[in-house]
Amino acid sequence: MWSWDWKEWLIAALIRAVKTFAQTMVGCITVGAAVEEVQWLRALSVSGVAFVLSMLTSLGGLPEVKKTDEEEPPDEPLDSVM
């Protein structure tokens, strides 16, 4: 069931989640708003939820993390072997 390297997966998932957090924070800050006009608690709350959802979504698999049970493709085409 869990067929990937956990350390590699955790690093990739955290990178994705931090990027998602930052992008959500940017989305919560309205254009032209002064620093004191931004609802920082709400922005942090929404971004935190996005971080958690990103981590949970990553449990389904990450394309940048290879599964450990996958076989490596052959270096040469099969036609040249025969």
- Model pLDDT, residue 65: 79
pLDDT digits (tens, 9 = 90+) for 23-49: 999 999 887 788 888 899 999 999 999
CB atoms < 10 A from the CB of 58, how many? Answer: 19
CA distance 26 to 34: 14
| Percent of the chain whose predicted confidence (pLDDT) is above 70 | 76
| CB-based contact 10:58 (threshold 8 Å) | no
